[in-house]
């Protein structure tokens, strides 16, 4: 079994949800032009159900788990700040 296959199997065993749009292409075609990016930081928000925030880190040999965790928290902080702000606005209105 290749390392890629091993990783996919491990992810399937550990994660209890579908990654959905995480790391998928995001973009448009139109007017003879196109522009695409890879959605490595994204969120899926559904009224009444909450939010799934997607982000990742690059774990390699020699990675420091604490630093990787800090990096992940920094990456998702803009989403969490935005959602907290939105919650305050909803409470006021």
The domain ranges of the chain are: 3-92
In angstroms, rounded to a whole number, what is the distance separating the alpha carbons of residues 78 and 55?
Answer: 11
Q: Other CB atoms closer than 10 Å to residue 85's CB: what's the count?
A: 10
Q: Is 87 helix (H, G, I), strand (E, B) or coil?
A: helix
Look up residue 42 and give its DSSP letter: E
Q: Who wins on pLDDT, 35 or 43?
A: 35
Model confidence pTM above 0.75: no
Q: For position 91, what pLDDT does the model report? A: 59
Over 60: is that where the pLDDT of 93 sits?
no
pLDDT-derived band at 89 (thresholds 50, 70, 90) equals: low
Pairing of strands 50-54, 42-46: antiparallel
Over 80: is that where the pLDDT of 12 sits?
yes
């Amino acid at each position: 079994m290749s390392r890629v296959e091993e990783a996919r199997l491990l992810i399937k065993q550990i994660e209890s949800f579908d990654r959905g749009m995480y790391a998928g292409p995001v973009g448009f075609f139109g007017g003879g032009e196109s522009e695409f990016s890879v959605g490595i930081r994204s969120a899926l928000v559904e009224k009444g159900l909450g939010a799934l925030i997607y982000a990742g880190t690059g774990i390699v040999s020699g990675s420091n788990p604490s630093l990787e965790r800090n990096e992940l928290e920094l990456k998702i902080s803009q989403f969490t700040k935005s959602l907290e702000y939105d919650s305050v606005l909803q409470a006021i209105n």
